[in-house]
Structure 1
């Protein structure tokens, strides 16, 4: 009887050990599975975040750094501003770098406007004056001319559909010697530049 009792006790102890080991195995497997799933989720989130950052950087590069070239003339980052729904006139700005002989920006066209003109704004005492440049904008040899708010700029007249932030407005610039070149003006947010009111009145 003593042998049988000892055998029964050992058998029950062995069964408890097996059940305990099996329970621990399931718990370990479950924990590994949960941790693995969590790690996969974190990796996917990191990849998605990196992708979003890359897209933002690429978009920023397109919007802030696009350039065009014709002959010896480089057209740096043409841009415009979003227009109010009732506006009919939009401005255009860019940097023109002439690496060759003297030239001149003589005309421009765009399917988004009835006509495109070149204007100059400058202060005359305390008064901001604006005038159209019928002969275009001169580009001396080996020089850079910047078209910007408050100075030389492009005027999109009788705009058919107001420019919206984030879009690209296609246009063609024509230089006296270098010839025509297709460009795109990236449209930024509405600006509160002084003098825009004069353009608005001019376009009515």
Structure 2
């Protein structure tokens, strides 16, 4: 019974990730239509110490990138970034319309109720890296994330 409880808590993406000094809350991935080859992953990150999200990995996608959406003139544009600063004690939202994770070259359709493995690679100020492994739930195409 205790093992089942621990497994459940480990899979809950809003639980603290004790392996690194980073807490992950409200992680989710948008479901896809059958022919889609890309989708987004969203969450809130908070680091106890200054750090940087430098990479995200997933076996569900051929390519995973950290992205930023920003206005360029009258157009909203999305592009990959090399990393995302995580200032000590301050929540950083990865949400639609801002920073987020893009899963590209998906290996199969992601359906509501599925879970997807994600590994966050966090670089500390001393340039050492730690990983945070997540099992992220897939939410419906019309899902609205909680407001932070």
Please classify the TM superposition score into its range, dividing by the shorter chain length: 0.7 to 0.9
Q: Paired residue for 2:41, among 89, 92, 109?
A: 92
Alignment: residue pair count: 131
Q: Which has the higher helix share?
A: 1
Q: Which of structures 1 and 2 has the larger relative contact order (alpha carbons within 8 angstroms, sep 6+)?
A: 2
What is the alpha-carbon root mean square deviation over aligned residues? 2.4
Q: Which residue in 2 is equivalent to 1:79?
A: 28
- In 2, the alpha carbon distance for the partners of 1:191 and 1:126 equals 26
Q: Paired residue for 2:140, among 185, 189, 192?
A: 189
Q: Which has the higher strand share?
A: 2
1:158 aligns with 2:105: yes
- In 2, the alpha carbon distance for the partners of 1:64 and 1:172 equals 14
Q: Paired residue for 2:75, among 124, 127, 132?
A: 127
TM-score w.r.t. structure 1 length? 0.59
Instruction: Check whether the contact 2:13–2:135 (CA below 8 A) recurs between aligned residues.
Output: no
Instruction: Check whether the contact 2:27–2:137 (CA below 8 A) recurs between aligned residues.
Output: yes
Instruction: Check whether the contact 1:77–1:185 (CA below 8 A) recurs between aligned residues.
Output: no
- In 2, the alpha carbon distance for the partners of 1:192 and 1:77 equals 13
- In 1, the alpha carbon distance for the partners of 2:13 and 2:56 equals 21
For residues 22-101 of structure 1, what are the structure 2 equivalents within 5 Å?
Answer: 66-69=14-17, 70-100=19-49
> What do the CA deviations read for 1:66-97 (whole angstroms, capped 9, x no partner)?
32413321011210111011100010000001
1:147 aligns with 2:97: no
* Long gaps (5+) in structure 1: 1-62, 194-204
Q: Paired residue for 1:172, among 109, 119, 128?
A: 119
Q: Which residue in 1 is equivalent to 2:7?
A: none
1:107 aligns with 2:55: yes
